[in-house]
Amino acid sequence: MADVKHVPMKLILLCIGLVVSISLLPGCESDEVKSAKENLNTEIERVEGQMADLQSEIEAAEALAQTEDVPLDETVIPSLESAISQAKTIEFTAPDTPSGLDEINSEIESLKAVDYEADIQALKDAEQVVNDSIAQMKQVTNPSEAFVIERLQGIEGVGDISAVTEDNDPNGQLGKAGGYTATVYFTSPLVDQSDVLGDTVIEKGTDGGGAIEVYANVDDANKRKDYLSTFDGGIFASGSHEVVGTVLVRTSNKLMASQQKELEAAIIEALTRLQ
């Protein structure tokens, strides 16, 4: 074996330089750097996946915003459009991969702070509000007599319930053009029934507690409300009257204003409640 002492210094330095150069080649990265780059790519893929999900949700929300279905609450579509606009401001550009280990780890930590799940959920929530409002509108668009009776039952402030027929309809408008498709009267324990004329629920009319008048369309319901409004504040006032969908919710004029509002709100909640 040759004596190391006799190996020229220039040859030793050349070998050391060669080893260092080889270690710096891309294919000769340390396991730590390789692992860090894999972690960086994982974070990039996670964020890019969220961006893809966000874009899909934006497209779904935009389609819903163009729906021809009418929501019960007219403000939900503008709210959805605002959520869409907010989501569209979100952008992401994948960073270039640094060469140094510290720089790679720093980039990883920055990406870990990026999370668009809340933005995706905000869009989904806005869409759900619109879908629920559309479902509510369908529920109170010319609902059946049976539906109205079922929803009135159990409401605090609602007593006996009775639906009109062609034979006992006090207004004679059941089923006629522009008239109601159904009317359900009810008494209320909040009203002193001894102070109300009539023997039956229908004979007592709205004075006994109130009524739910159902119309084929919103225009007919609003026309009826406008007509009743002409008597407000006079001796022929018939109580409160509020349109929800194509339904006119009426409460007795014998109730105090606060009682009218509370009963009206309870009835509207029951009619629009989704199950």
4 assigned to some structural domain? no
12 within domain boundaries: no
State whether 176 and 123 are in the same domain: no
- Quote the tokens at residue 95: 């960073």
Q: Which residue has the tokens 């004979």?
A: 203
Q: Look at residue 23 in the predicted model and tell me its pLDDT.
A: 44
Of 29, 47, 158, nearest to 104 (Cα)? 29
Query: Residue 136's pLDDT is what?
Result: 98
- From 114, 137, 160, the end of a domain falls on 137
Residue 155, Cβ neighbours under 10 Å: how many? Answer: 17
Residue 100's SS3 state is coil
Residue 192 near residue 184 (C-beta atoms within 8 A):
no
Give the residue among 129, 11, 143 at the shortest CA–CA distance from 73.
129
- Domain match, 131 and 154 both: no
Q: How many structural domains does the chain have?
A: 2
Q: What's the whole-model pTM score?
A: 0.85
Residue 20 lies in a domain: no
Amino acid 16: pLDDT: 44
- 222 within a domain of the structure (yes/no): yes
> Would you write out the chain's pLDDT as a tens digit for each of its 275 residues?
444 445 454 544 444 444 444 444 455 689 999 999 999 999 999 999 999 999 999 999 999 999 999 999 999 999 999 999 999 999 999 999 998 999 999 999 999 999 999 999 999 999 999 999 999 999 999 999 999 999 999 999 999 999 999 999 999 999 999 999 999 999 999 999 999 999 999 999 999 999 999 999 999 999 999 999 999 999 999 999 999 999 999 999 999 999 999 999 999 999 999 98
Do both 95 and 175 map to the same domain? no
Residues 53 and 102 placed together within one structural domain of the fold: yes
Place of tokens 């029951």: 270
In the prediction, which pLDDT does 13 show? 42
Output the CA–CA distances (angstroms, integers) from residue 187 to 194, 223, 235, in the order listed.
Answer: 12, 25, 21
Shared domain check, 214 and 196: yes
Rounded distance, CA 119 to CA 90, Å?
A: 9
**Which pLDDT score is estimated for 29?**
83
Separation CA 144–CA 243 (nearest Å): 16
DSSP annotation string for 187-251: E-TTS-GGGS--SSHHHHGGGGEEEEEE-SSHHHHHHHHHHHHTTTTSTT---EEEEETTEEEEE
Based on the fold, state whether residues 180 and 109 are members of the same structural domain: no
- Of the three residues 85, 116, 137, the one that is the final residue of a domain is 137
CA distance 54 to 227: 49
Is residue 133 located within the same domain as residue 150? no
CA dist 242 and 211 (Å) reads: 11
Query: At 144, phi and psi to the nearest 5?
Result: -75, 160
**Residue 23 covered by a domain:** no
Q: Are residues 133 and 245 in the same domain?
A: no
Q: Which of 137, 157, 175 is the last residue of a domain?
A: 137
**Residues 162 and 121 both lie in one domain:** no
Which region holds residue 79: left if phi is over 0, alpha if psi is between -120 and 50, else beta?
alpha
pLDDT at 275: 84
Question: Considering the domain boundaries, does residue 245 fall inside one?
Answer: yes
Indicate if 131 and 228 belong to the same structural domain: no
Provide the CB-side half-sphere exposure for 106 (13 A, CA). Answer: 7
CB of 237 closer than 8 Å to CB of 207: no
Range of the domain at 195: 145-272
